[in-house]
Every structure is written in C-alpha cells, then in structure tokens.
Amino acid sequence: MTWRKSTYSGGNGGNCVEVGQNADCFLVRDTKDRAGAMLAFSAQAWRRFAAMVRDSAEA
C-alpha cells in the first residue's frame, strides 16, 4: 500500500498523519507510530470527513 502524508499536517511540530487506500477503505495512521492503530473509513465516510476538514480550514 502507498501512504501519503496529509497536506494538513505540515508545520505543526511533527504531529502528522498519513493516508492510504486499499480496495475496501481509506486508512489513516500516525506518522510517528506506523505500526500502531489505524482508523478505517468507507469511501463515503472518507469523502464526508475530508469535506469537513477542508471546510473548517477555509473558515
């Protein structure tokens, strides 16, 4: 799986998350604890979550 660092994680002292996608869901993990727990989102839930983050950043 390919992981990418969230664009919203930059410049915050190393508190970063990474996002990956498999056939069933989107996964989110802590960059500093890559072997730790992950959050899993369905595609629909991920779109809602991403829209809420985007909207809050623009406010």
Residues of the chain with pLDDT under 50: none
Q: How far apart are CA 31 and CA 59, in angstroms?
A: 26
pLDDT at residue number 39: 93
pTM of the entire predicted model: 0.73
Q: Identify whether the C-beta of residue 48 lies closer than 8 Å to the C-beta of residue 37.
A: no
* Helix ranges restricted to H, the chain: 43-58
pLDDT at residue number 44: 95
Instruction: Give how many domains the chain has, as a whole number.
Output: 1
β-pairing, 3-5 vs 17-21, is antiparallel
pLDDT at residue number 10: 63
**Domain containing residue 15:** 3-58
Sheet architecture: strand order including 3-5: 3-5, 17-21, 26-30, 38-41
